Amino acid sequence: MTTLVERKLTTQKAIAEAIAQEMERDDRVLVMGEDIGVYGGIFGATEGLLDRFGPDRVIDTPISETGFIGAAVGAALHGLRPIAELMFVDFFGVCMDQIYNHMAKIHYFSGGAISVPMVLTTAVGGGYSDAGQHSQTLWGTFAHLPGMKVVIPSNPYDAKGLMISAIRDDNPVLYMFHKGVLGLGWMTHNPRATGSVPEEAYTVPLGEAAVAREGTDVTIATVGLSVHRALDAADLLAGDGISAEVLDLRTLVPLDKTALADSVRKTHRLLVVDEDYRSFGMTAEVAMTAIEEAFDHLDAAPARLAVPDVPIPYSRPLEQFVLPDPESIAASATSLIRG
């Protein structure tokens, strides 16, 4: 029991603080994107930065994602360490070439001679009726393509530590924050979006999963807001006598195979939960990884629960139907255990 008064921050403020501290520490860090200046980022990831660092380092851009993300790549090649924000990941289609053919590949093309130290931040996820072009997660799409790390924080502490790691990393890092974990005042209230965050800078390593809740009967592996859903599901399951372990993968690239295998060796059962589209995405990859790493320890085939292969629909009942929720996670886990 600690008597210290711990400082609580929302995930959004933790992200903004991480960026601010790194900008303070390293003059080469700058931020660019749409509405990241006066507005502070549509999701607040750059709140307060303009006032503090001025328009030379906090640069509002035209709606030219290919232009400014490519400019971030070029700036990274020439001595800066840019952070570029793609407002919603759903917009990747207008600028993917710079992301996957340039940002992610130049280091390789150069035989390791040149690095591209930059962070691409982007908001992901649905659940608030923003429809099919503003509600996707798409991390499976990025994790499939080589050369960029893929980071997905689920809570304030990790958000800060992962952001600092991302900025200090010499590789391109895609930092995907789920709108539902940010603790924004205008989104559905989420108590897990606020938590203790040390004031000083610290890092959370890229490539290490975290056990968000220990359990013995089944591993629920997931990322982002679905970590919260899984925690709620674990509560439901506990009431039903099932002890679920929740594994927050935190980064998809690198994927922490060891932590996954360790958990599965303990629980012997794996449910992979995803807010991305089901097919050709995260669920199959994580499940197959567990099979490859710990086949003999599995008592049942891994199960998966994800958005079915449909665009995210607008209307609330439709959208809620396609998203994973605590009840559907608990039901999947139960049927995985009880058949």
Ligand X SMILES: Cc1ncc(C[n+]2csc(CCOP(=O)(O)OP(=O)(O)O)c2C)c(N)n1
Q: Which residues bind ligand X (CB under 6 A)?
A: 34, 63, 65, 87, 91, 94
Contact between 328 and other proteins per CB under 8 A: no
Contact between 319 and other proteins per CB under 8 A: yes
From the list 322, 62, 78, 43, the residue with the least C-alpha distance to 175 is: 43
Q: Which of residues 253-282 bind a second copy (CB under 8 A)?
A: 253, 255, 276-277, 279-282
Strand 303-307: give its sheet, edge to edge: 210-213, 244-248, 218-222, 270-277, 303-307
Contact between 238 and other proteins per CB under 8 A: no
- Residue 50 to residues 25, 57, 83, 185: CA-CA distances in angstroms? 16, 8, 14, 21
Of 129 and 196, CB closest to other proteins: 129
Of 74 and 325, CB closest to ligand X: 74
Of 49 and 252, CB closest to a second copy: 252
Q: Which of residues 69-98 bind a second copy (CB under 8 A)?
A: 90-98
Residue 96 contact partner, candidates a second copy, other proteins, ligand X, none, CB within 5 to 8 A by sort of partner: a second copy
Encoded tokens for 148: 């960029």
Minimum distance from CB of 107 to other proteins (Å)? 6
Encoded tokens for 46: 């750059």
For 104-116, give the DSSP string: TTHHHHTTTSS--
Residue 129 contact partner, candidates other proteins, a second copy, ligand X, none, CB within 5 to 8 A by sort of partner: other proteins
The torsion angles phi and psi of 83, rounded to 5 degrees, stand at -115, 120
Neighbouring-strand partners of residue 149: 173
Q: How far apart are CA 11 and CA 58, in angstroms?
A: 20
Neighbouring-strand partners of residue 244: 218
Element (H, E) at 294: helix 282-294
Binding mask 267-306 for other proteins (x = CB under 8 A): ----------------------------------------
Residue 80 contact partner, candidates a second copy, ligand X, other proteins, none, CB within 5 to 8 A by sort of partner: other proteins
**Part of the chain binding other proteins (CB under 8 A), chosen from 146-154, 218-226, 281-289, 326-334:** 146-154
Contact between 190 and other proteins per CB under 8 A: no
Encoded tokens for 259: 């932590």
Contact between 141 and a second copy per CB under 8 A: yes
Q: How far apart are CA 236 and CA 14, in angstroms?
A: 29
Q: How far apart are CA 181 and CA 38, in angstroms?
A: 23
- 134 is annotated as an active-site residue: yes
Selected catalytic residue, list 102, 107, 134, 268: 134
Contact between 73 and other proteins per CB under 8 A: yes
Contact between 186 and other proteins per CB under 8 A: yes
- Catalytic positions: 134
